[in-house]
Amino acid sequence: MAHEMGGRFLLRIEDIDTQRARPEYEAAIYEDLAWLGLSWEEPVMRQSERFAVYELALERLAARGLVYPCFCTRGEIAQRVAERPDWPCDPDGQPLYPGTCRHLSSEETARWHALGRYAARRLDMAQAGTCIDGQIGWREAYDGQESRELYAEPTLWGDAILGRKDVPTSYHLAVVIDDAAQGITDIVRGQDLFSATSLHRLLQELLDLPAPHYHHHRLFTDDDGRKLAKSIKSMSLRQLRADGVTPADIKRRLGLS
């Protein structure tokens, strides 16, 4: 699609999870993309080399009162919302953060640090909303030439984590910063990230970053309609290739042919 539109095709290694990232996984990405007939510009951007950039963005948001430290564990959050069966969840199915740490004093924050607790950094969604004038949205391209403006609903994500306890970023923060840094104008990604675009558009507005156009293609699924994923031991592209699946078959199933 990039070449058809006279654009550039860029590859980015999103490896902020340093515990799970492996050189062999990265090598497999290059191999799979080459098999699909894709070529990309060098050098390849690696998010694990850009933690200082993400930290600066967090500091900018914190200076405006839009980010706060959160010391809660997942278990503590689950316990807090367990008595509320009607407690809302975000688009990924996780309970919205109940705001336990939203208004911690500096003394309470210092006490948690003294106890050796690490803090994630969360977006104060309510405060962020006061910084936006009017409705935000994005231009979504569909199959063929059709595209239209969609409204963003970032509040569905609640106080999302922007900085994890182990690294100074999250997927959501890193991708919007890197999209801008690489001059990305058009993003093609899976339908499973459609809802995340609302949060990404909010972050782009808060950080004064440009808004790309988006196309969310349908997912490559198994015979039961489940998204292919390592967590359910789905077939990899290498396995599909060995079974005789062609690059044209892949593009057709994704609706990109």
How many Å apart are CA 56 and CA 41, to the nearest integer?
A: 27
Q: Which of 209, 217, 253 is nearest to 235 (CA)?
A: 253
Domains and CATH numbers, the chain: 1-45 (no CATH), 50-134+155-184+199-207 (3.90.800.10)
Q: What is the pLDDT along the chain (257 residues), one digit of tens a residue?
A: 565 667 788 999 999 998 888 888 899 999 988 988 888 999 999 999 999 999 999 999 999 999 999 999 999 999 999 989 899 999 999 999 999 999 999 999 999 999 999 999 999 999 999 999 999 999 999 876 689 999 999 999 999 999 999 999 999 999 999 999 999 999 989 999 999 999 999 999 999 999 999 999 888 766 666 666 655 455 677 788 888 888 888 777 766 66
227 three-class SS: strand
Query: Following DSSP, what letter does each residue of 25-44 receive, concatenated?
Result: HHHHHHHHHHHTT----SSP
The residue among 124, 134, 191, 129 whose CA lies nearest residue 158 is 124
Contact 161, 121 (CB under 8 A): yes
Euclidean distance between CA atoms 192 and 205, whole angstroms: 22
**pTM for this entry:** 0.87
